[in-house]
């Protein structure tokens, strides 16, 4: 193939502009990314060679070499991995066939300080070379291809790149960085070794650099023809826990997650038995931008006998733990395992169950012994963890203990165990209310009798809460009871005198109740006197088993239809507005007051009026009467 000049994909042009003009806070990440890419290329060769050993050609030992040329002002990163064909070079280096590019650019433009995190997270690591280079040359030959089929790719990181066929005996890839002015600090063996040691120590391949020795005659370090490893060349998870420092665990996490922050917690174990595997799992300190994308594959890398198999092996971790990062290395799975086989394998099921329990144990330990840290975790991931209540019945009880809520006594951090310990003598249920916001929940009229009697009510405001409650009915033998469903029944907490007084009041207001039922027949299923209200004139509730107004609104917002059902209007017989309604003369005046009473109750519950103009007209008429 003669030399061709091709244009970058539009998104690549934008990324290159941002990389070359914005990423200065952590320049050394270019070497981390390029060494990581070289390691991936070797992993891919190892995987493809499982079925085709000839791909190793005459070089079965995989390695990465890094060196610099001070005179030419270049740094070269070489691997003898899978390499690329001409078509692959154009496809991989000139375009980005990965979603999320737009989010990458938006986030980078919004906060340039996160560059080191975002570069790897969005799969654009190769372009980080342009942070320090004004030109990059890539020479590569795919394993199994003829030497004459090698290719040279070259670009100055502007609008286009050149591709041509060259002769290359060695398989694999050389990435040659031509450093721009002012970046000479990287033309140093000490500098390059320190970066590799910092970021790439865990890579299971040797990263080699030319050996240096002291020359007594020249009184300086000189480079020899020998090569020496500058990393430990042992996968971190395969080493003994006693040999690994906390700093090394944290640095490995940053490598696999592209997260600048230290993890919240981690666990490293070798599991033996019917299924043998090693797990190194991390819980991040903050949520990724795509946490709510349930289609996103998990963050766990799968290795089999230390051979890399796949990124994001979603079958190894349940969806509600999709924020977990880490590595699982199995001794039992077949080396040519596919995604389809992962879904069906009994060994994978055992690994998934074991890893799930290990993560839950890790969270339980943090919740018990590091409450502030768990509170931070809950703020970031709590709503996702709630999904497990309906998805993981086997661990539902453990998950329930990890849940945290706001309540009428605390704005956050209330667990079911805490609630049960504070229950009043004679209290038989765990009370809760769902609402769109914390303010709406706190100020709901349905809470008034509970406040009066000093009963704590959990305030649930996450969108997932209604779905979660359809799977969670009790905790520690105590039923969960919505304060906005059914008639209020406080059982032993309500004495006989209160019950008799309520019955007498209901009997006395029977004529008023019948008039309200007739007026509101198209809006309310029933009207009744209640004891749950103290300060408010009325509230609306739904029957046990009916869909709450909160859930119906969420379904409507999501474009789904909700079964139509009418609520029940409960009135406070002691309130002045109800007494005024009882004495209202004339059907029109009564009807207006009745509708205002219902509309106010609906608004207080968080609902929306079907006819706001009619409500305003009625209120205005009342104010000017």
Residues 59-81, mean pLDDT to the nearest whole number:
96
Residues 65-92, mean pLDDT to the nearest whole number:
94
- If pLDDT is split at 50, 70 and 90, which confidence band does 7 have? confident
**What is the predicted pLDDT for the residue at 391?**
92
What does the alpha-carbon distance between residue 533 and residue 574 come to, in Å, rounded to a whole number?
9
Domain at 172, CATH number: 3.30.565.10
Same domain, 358 and 453: no
For residue 135, the enclosing domain spans 4-230
Same domain, 588 and 482: no
Structural domain includes residue 425? yes
* pLDDT at 54 > cutoff 90: yes
List of residues 6+ apart from 128 with CB closer than 8 A: 19, 23, 29, 30, 33, 34, 119
Same domain, 330 and 446: no
Structural domain includes residue 383? no
Structural domain includes residue 252? yes
Domain at 370, CATH number: 3.30.230.80
**What is the predicted pLDDT for the residue at 21?**
61
Tens digit of each residue's pLDDT (9 = 90 or more) over 306-352: 777 777 777 889 999 999 999 999 988 876 676 666 777 888 889 99
What does the alpha-carbon distance between residue 459 and residue 419 come to, in Å, rounded to a whole number?
12
Of 13-17, 170-174, 178-182, 322-326, the one with minimum mean pLDDT is 13-17
Question: How many Cβ atoms are within 10 Å of 378's Cβ, its own excluded?
Answer: 20
Same domain, 93 and 217: yes
Structural domain includes residue 554? yes
Domain boundary residue, one of 445, 465, 490: 490
List of residues 6+ apart from 291 with CB closer than 8 A: 322, 323, 381, 384
Same domain, 83 and 201: yes
Tens digit of each residue's pLDDT (9 = 90 or more) over 137-156: 999 999 999 999 999 999 99
Q: Which residue has the higher pLDDT, 608 or 472?
A: 472
Decide: 457 and 483 in contact? Cβ < 8 Å: yes
**What is the predicted pLDDT for the residue at 160?**
87
**What is the predicted pLDDT for the residue at 562?**
65
Structural domain includes residue 386? no
Same domain, 158 and 28: yes
Q: How many angstroms separate the first and last alpha carbons of the chain? A: 91
Domain boundary residue, one of 184, 203, 230: 230
Same domain, 221 and 246: no
Among 173, 172, 165, 92, CA closest to 138: 173
Same domain, 104 and 223: yes
From residue 195, alpha-carbon distances to 189, 192, 214, 269 in Å are 10, 5, 22, 28
Structural domain includes residue 578? yes
Tens digit of each residue's pLDDT (9 = 90 or more) over 423-451: 988 888 999 999 888 998 998 898 988 89
Q: Residue 5 forms beta bridges with which residues?
A: 162
Of 230-244, 458-472, 526-540, 544-558, the one with minimum mean pLDDT is 544-558
Structural domain includes residue 471? yes
* pLDDT at 121 > cutoff 50: no
Same domain, 215 and 75: yes
Provide the strand spans (E) within 8-128: 64-69, 74-79
Same domain, 359 and 500: no
**What is the predicted pLDDT for the residue at 78?**
97
Residues 370-383, mean pLDDT to the nearest whole number:
94
Q: Which residue has the higher pLDDT, 113 or 558?
A: 558
Domain at 420, CATH number: 3.40.50.11260
Same domain, 63 and 119: yes
Same domain, 535 and 553: yes
Structural domain includes residue 381? no
Quote the number of domains for the chain: 4
List of residues 6+ apart from 167 with CB closer than 8 A: 147, 148, 150
């Amino acid at each position: 193939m003669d030399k061709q000049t091709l244009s970058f994909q539009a998104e690549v042009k934008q990324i290159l502009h941002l990389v070359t003009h914005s990423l200065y806070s952590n320049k050394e990440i270019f070497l981390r990314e390029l060494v990581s890419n070289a390691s991936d290329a070797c992993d891919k060769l190892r995987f493809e060679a499982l079925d085709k050993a000839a791909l190793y050609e005459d070089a079965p030992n995989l390695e990465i070499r890094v060196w610099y040329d001070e005179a030419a002002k270049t740094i070269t990163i070489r691997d003898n991995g899978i390499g690329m064909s001409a078509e692959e070079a154009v496809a991989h280096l000139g375009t980005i066939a990965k979603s999320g590019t737009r989010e990458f650019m938006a986030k980078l433009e919004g906060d340039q300080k996160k560059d080191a995190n975002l570069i790897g997270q969005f799969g654009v690591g190769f372009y980080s070379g342009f942070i320090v280079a004004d030109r990059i040359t890539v020479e590569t030959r795919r394993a199994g291809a003829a030497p004459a089929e090698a290719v040279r790719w070259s670009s100055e990181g502007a609008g286009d790149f050149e591709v041509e066929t060259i002769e290359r005996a060695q398989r694999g890839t050389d990435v040659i960085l031509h450093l721009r002015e002012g970046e000479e600090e990287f033309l140093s063996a000490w500098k390059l070794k320190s970066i590799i040691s910092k970021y790439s120590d865990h890579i299971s391949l040797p990263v080699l650099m030319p050996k240096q020795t002291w020359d007594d005659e020249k009184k300086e370090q000189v480079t020899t023809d020998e090569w020496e490893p500058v990393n430990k060349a042992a996968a971190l998870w395969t080493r003994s826990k006693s040999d690994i420092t906390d700093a090394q665990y944290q640095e490995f996490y940053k490598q696999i997650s592209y997260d600048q922050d230290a993890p919240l917690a981690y666990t490293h174990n070798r599991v033996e038995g019917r299924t043998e595997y090693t797990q190194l799992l991390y819980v991040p300190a903050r949520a990724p931008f795509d946490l709510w994308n349930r289609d996103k594959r998990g963050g766990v890398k799968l290795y089999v006998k230390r051979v890399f198999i796949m990124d994001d092996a979603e079958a190894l971790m349940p969806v509600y733990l999709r924020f977990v990062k880490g590595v699982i290395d199995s001794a039992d799975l077949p080396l040519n395992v596919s995604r389809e086989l992962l879904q069906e394998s009994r060994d994978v099921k055992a690994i998934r169950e074991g890893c799930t329990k290990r993560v839950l144990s890790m969270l339980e330990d943090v919740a018990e012994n590091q409450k502030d840290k768990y509170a931070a975790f809950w703020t970031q991931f709590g709503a996702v963890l709630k999904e497990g209540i309906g998805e993981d019945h086997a661990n539902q009880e453990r998950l329930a203990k990890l849940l945290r809520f706001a309540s009428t006594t605390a704005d956050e951090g209330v667990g079911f165990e805490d609630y049960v310990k504070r229950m009043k003598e004679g209290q038989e249920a765990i009370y809760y209310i769902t609402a769109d916001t914390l303010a709406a929940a706190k100020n709901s009229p349905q809470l008034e009798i509970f406040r009066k009697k000093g009963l704590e009510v959990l305030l649930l405001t996450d969108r997932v809460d209604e779905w979660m409650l359809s799977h969670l009915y009790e905790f520690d033998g105590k039923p969960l009871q919505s304060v906005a469903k059914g008639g209020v029944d406080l059982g032993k907490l309500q004495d006989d005198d209160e019950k008799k007084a309520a019955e007498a009041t209901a009997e006395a207001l029977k004529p008023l109740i019948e008039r309200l039922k007739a007026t509101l027949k198209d809006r309310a299923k029933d009207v009744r006197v209640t004891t749950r209200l103290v300060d408010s004139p009325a509230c609306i509730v739904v029957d046990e088993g009916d869909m709450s107004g909160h859930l119906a609104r969420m379904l409507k917002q999501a474009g789904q239809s909700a079964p139509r059902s009418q609520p029940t209007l409960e009135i406070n017989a002691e309130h002045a507005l109800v007494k005024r309604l009882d004495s209202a003369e004339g059907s029109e005046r009564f009807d207006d007051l009745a509708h205002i009473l219902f509309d106010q109750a609906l608004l207080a519950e968080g609902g929306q009026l079907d006819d706001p103009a009619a409500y305003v007209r009625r209120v205005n008429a009342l104010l000017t009467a």
